[in-house]
Structure 1
């Protein structure tokens, strides 16, 4: 009988240890890769957006600027029917609408926006009743504006970076507010609310404007805004 001190323990197979180590490394690698892909996928999806080519037969990918994920729905690549955006076809465009009331400084604010070479604010496009007679007319007009097919004195070039207009609350907004909100959410339109804090000053401005309309017309017609010193002196 052998002495227990000298009994050798059986050798562990190196093949089994190798398999265990390789399996552990494989599982760790898959886990790390999955975590990394999950982290970068939102940014990648936000950068590359598919748009329709002008001939509507092919699609091309436009690389948007380095934007956050929440900004992606606000970036658009319109395809106008009335002209070709040419080299600016991949320039992103943002949509906006200025909601305000008369005599609240919206004219000055819109002039400030239009001073930028690539920003177009097209004024009170719903001032005409025909354009706001029903929700279908409103949505059709909105589509033309945001597809860059609306032409006015504020229209810029094919490289416009932001397009919008001024919309008074009494021009169909309150009557069709649910459909308008749904359209804005669906198409990623930013709403800018501009109101005058001092209601007394606004009331005075309304009364003064009404007085000028009846008593002090400019060259035979009334103008609620003047844009030069010559117009002021001749009023």
Structure 2
């Protein structure tokens, strides 16, 4: 009897702690699982939010469309040039860009501003050469060479480049293969900078004057599309084109349509839209450009001097005819002094 009692109490004292310890272990495991779950959820939320913010958001503000957040993959690149070594800069990312524009829209001046940045290389009108835009294959080969940093000119920063691109005119093959080029831009992470003029009449005058000087060569027998002194600008501005008032409206409509078509064709790319007049009147717009390209802020400068200043009546030979033609139309606003 005593032995049975001892066995009973022994079993009791052995079994109860086992049940209690099992319960405690389960509670501890439940607490640990809960804590881990909360931690994992918080980490996931932190990872999801930046990805959501890093998605491309195009925001319209004062004529500028741009991504509001920091640049991220796939817009950061680490090129490996075949013609030189990036040396200590090999680990520094490079952004790819293209300036999409039309002749006499201020793109030459704008490009000199970009190239005044110590880390930006803009290679000019590389597709002014017809052989490079002969077909889509030659275009892709040229683009690959530019974005691999194997394209050299006086503006090249080589291993120090943080942003590299060039200027592409709408009439230089860009509009001939829009789907293939958009696919390339999106695949390679190329950002587009649209640069146009609001006042298409001023652009038209500049086109006519530049075309005239191409043959007349007013500056000591030399043709210059851009000048660096007030004296040269004054000399070129003395020429006043005679505008065909009969075809003027159709010419302005054609330019307007071409701009709209370009924006529509390349709307799916990461892009920013700028207007020459806005840049002239407000240089803080250049800060937006530097933010868009993901480069450090610098004071951008250019030596170029504007040719056609002041009211347009001073630069059109048959001003009265042009004024009469545009008054009462949607283009009458072009007759006013806008900057």
User: 1:207 Cα shift?
Assistant: 1.5
Counterpart Cα distance in 2 of 1:69 and 1:36 = 22
Tell me the residue number matched to 2:117.
116
Offset at residue 20 of structure 1 (A): 2.7
Higher-helix-fraction structure: 2
Q: Deviations over 1:117-142 (max 9, x none)?
A: 11010000000000000001000000
Q: Is the 8 A contact 1:99 1:168 kept in 2?
A: yes
Deviation at 1:42, TM superposition (A): 6.4
* TM-score normalised according to structure 1 size: 0.78
Of 70-79 and 103-112, more deviation after overlay is shown by 70-79
Alignment-derived partner of residue 213 in structure 1? 214
Name stretches of at least 5 consecutive residues in structure 1 with no aligned partner.
1-9, 46-67
Does the 8 A contact of 2:127 with 2:133 survive in 1?
Answer: yes
1:172 aligns with 2:173: yes
Distance in 1 of aligned mates of 2:21 and 2:46: 38
Give the match for residue 162 of structure 1: 163
Match of 1:18 in 2: 24
Instruction: Answer with 178-187 or 22-31: which moved more.
Output: 22-31
| Equivalent residues of 1:123, 1:166 under 8 A apart | yes
* Alpha-carbon distance in structure 2 between the residues aligned to 1:128 and 1:18: 80
Aligned positions of 1:44-123 closer than 5 A: 71-123=72-124
Q: Is residue 149–residue 158 contact of structure 2 (8 Å, CA) maintained in 1?
A: no
**Greater mean deviation of Cα atoms: 77-86 or 22-31:** 22-31
Secondary structure, aligned partner of 2:74 = helix
What does 1:7-46 align with in structure 2 at a 5 Å threshold?
13-41=19-47
**Residue correspondences, number:** 204
Pair 1:186 & 2:187 matched: yes
For the Cα contact (< 8 Å) 2:132–2:138, is it kept in 1? yes
* Mean CA deviation greater in 153-162 or 178-187: 153-162
SS at 2:98's partner residue?
strand
Describe how 1:130-141 pairs up with structure 2 within 5 A: 130-141=131-142
- Aligned position for 2:57: none
* In 2: Cα distance, 1:169 partner to 1:81 partner: 30
Partners of 2:70 and 2:29 lie apart in 1 by: 36
Give the TM-score, by structure 2 length.
0.55
- Contact 1:43–1:69 (8 Å) recurs in 2: no
